[in-house]
Amino acid sequence: MKFLCVECDRQMTFEEREVPGDGTLAAVFRCPKCERSMAMLTNPMETQLVSSLGVKVGGETVPGTSFEGIRTGVSSGRDEAFVEAATPIQGPVRWTVDAVERLSHVPSFVRGMVKKIYNEYAKEHGIGEITPAIMDRARSDLGLEDM
pTM over 0.85: no
3-state secondary structure of 45: helix
Alpha-carbon distance of 94 to 54, in angstroms, equals 30
Q: What are phi and psi of 11, to 5 degrees?
A: -70, 130
| Average pLDDT per 10 consecutive residues for the chain, totaling 147 residues | 83 82 82 88 79 61 50 47 54 87 85 87 90 90 74
Which of 129, 113, 21 minimizes the C-alpha distance to 64?
113
What is the per-residue pLDDT for 27? Answer: 83
Question: CB-hemisphere CA count at 13 Å for 136?
Answer: 4
What is the per-residue pLDDT for 131? Answer: 92
Cβ pair 128, 93 in contact under 8 A: yes
DSSP-derived letter for residue 61 is: B
What is the per-residue pLDDT for 55? Answer: 62
In 54-128, beta strands by DSSP E: 94-95
Question: CB-hemisphere CA count at 13 Å for 52?
Answer: 12
What is the per-residue pLDDT for 34? Answer: 92
Complete domains list, the chain, with CATH: 13-53 (no CATH), 81-140 (1.10.8.550)
What is the per-residue pLDDT for 129? Answer: 92
3-state secondary structure of 47: helix
Q: What are phi and psi of 142, to 5 degrees?
A: -90, 0
